[in-house]
Amino acid sequence: MGRVYNFSAGPAVLPEEVLEEAAREMLDYQGSGMSVMEMSHRSAVFDQIIGQAEADLRELMNIPDHYKVLFLQGGASLQFAMIPMNLMKNRVADYIITGQWAKKAAQEAGQYGKVNVIASSADRMFSYIPDCSDLPVSKDADYVYLCENNTIYGTKFHKLPDPKGKPLIADVSSCFLSEPVDVSQYGLIYGGVQKNVGPAGMVIVIIREDLISKDVLPGTPTMMRYQVHADNRSLYNTPPCYNIYICGKVFQWLKKQGGLEAMKERNEKKARILYEYLDQSRLFSPTVEPSSRSLMNVPFVTGNPQTDAMFVREAEAAGLVNLKGHRTVGGMRASIYNAMPTEGVEALVSFMKTFEEAHEPCTKFSV
Ligand SMILES: *Cc1c(COP(=O)(O)O)cnc(C)c1O
């Protein structure tokens, strides 16, 4: 079997060119006589890799000079603790709850201080983004936290909340580099890279310099201090070298595609193909309110769990894999990250049309 169209939410599809290039360099990285996996993180050749990766990311996202870029381990979930341990000086933080990842982050922060839930979409199964134009931000809050793209529920903040002068902290794991961002709007942006950028096990943190300090909560481990990693250019200890190398290749690939403006255009086009079909389908329904829809994660249902399961099975046999919805919500979910080609989305819609014809709801026949 050749390569499939992989709609996994993460770890997820990577650009084929990147994988091919990495394969070519596997045994001998650019004349070094060794794989990137085998080389010292203190070597000149690796220094070039991490330096170029950071420079390319800065260029892609137009990151201002007074922000640090950190390549860290522990995935996105370790940030749920690192953020409060480093930033909760008053031991108060405001959280916007738009799904399970935000909820988990809030629960973790609750171990270190008082967490105020200042907006939530739990009342309708996280199927929309709540109005955040006039949030009851707490006077003594150290920051305002949101999960910008909700991987499980398929919602996205299309307009950032107004944090009323507090630093805005965003988990962008599943929308990282999918469209241009104004970094200056945030105090800290972070994302686990396995959704849209690279191999699992690394998180990229972009943090405004004035938020980095020695003054962290008592007991914060050395490895969990932003200052330690910032002072050491992410080389305090052995970093996830191979992940950094692959992410660097993805940054290069994104630049070749025309950067984030071009990605946004392409991602909008891909998402439109799928949503337009879903909105008129007699069998499949999208689950998210139109104004809150994600460009990256598209959940949908037939309303019948057996039909859902049959669809997922038959799609897989047709080379369209990992379409099963998150275990907590059921139905289907197509994750159509940067590296998913338009042809993949077209193939999915074409398969859905065929499936729909064969399994149209009985209402059509009861006329
Ligand atoms: C997947 C995901 C996480 C968790 O990432 P890990 O790297 O597994 O810790 C957190 N937030 C969002 C939005 C995610 O999609």
Distance CA 181, CA 171 (A): 13
Question: In the predicted model, what is the mean pLDDT of residues 203-216?
Answer: 98
Phi, psi of 27 (to 5 degrees): -90, -25
pLDDT at residue 360, as a whole number: 79
CB-ligand 1 contact for 11 (6 Å cutoff): no
> Can you list the positions of beta strands (E) in 10-109?
67-73, 92-97
Q: How confident is the model at residue 2 (pLDDT cuts 50, 70, 90)?
A: confident
Centroid of ligand 1 to alpha carbon of 101 (angstroms):
7
Q: What is the pLDDT of residues 177-192, one digit of tens each?
A: 999 999 999 999 999 9
Could you confirm whether 101 is annotated as catalytic?
A: yes
Q: Which residues of 187-196 are buried (b: 16+ CB within 10 A; e: fewer)?
A: bbbbbbbbbb
Is 353 an active-site residue? no
pLDDT band, very low/low/confident/very high, at 366 (cuts 50, 70, 90): very low
**Rounded-to-integer distance, Cα 189 and Cα 148, Å:** 10
To test the pocket of ligand 1, the residue of 147, 172, 174 to mutate (highest count of ligand atoms within 8 Å of its CB) is 174
What are the tokens at 230? Answer: 């910032």
Asked whether residue 94 carries a pLDDT value surpassing 90, the answer given is yes
146 Cα to the center of ligand 1, angstroms = 13
CB of 254 closer than 8 Å to CB of 177: yes
| pLDDT confidence of residue 215 | 96
Are the C-beta atoms of residues 364 and 295 closer than 8 Å to each other? no
253 is catalytic: no
Given a cut of 70, whether residue 335 has pLDDT beyond it is yes
pLDDT for 333 beyond 80: yes
* Residue from 56, 94, 171, 308 carrying the catalytic annotation: 171
Binning pLDDT at 50, 70 and 90, where does residue 328 land? Answer: confident
- Set 195, 249, 270, 324: catalytic member: 195
Residue 189: strand pairing partners: 170, 206
For residues 220 and 86, the answer to whether their CB atoms sit within 8 Å is yes
**What spacing in Å lies between the alpha carbon of 200 and ligand 1's midpoint?**
10
Percentage of the chain lying above the pLDDT 70 cut: 98
User: Which is nearest to 298 in space by CA: 258, 350, 340, 257?
Assistant: 340
Band (pLDDT 50/70/90 cuts) for residue 43 is very high
- Paired tokens of 304: 């019948």
Q: What is the pLDDT of residue 1?
A: 62
Asked whether the predicted pLDDT for residue 367 surpasses 80, the reply is: no
Going by the DSSP 8-state scheme, the letter that residue 123 receives in this structure is G
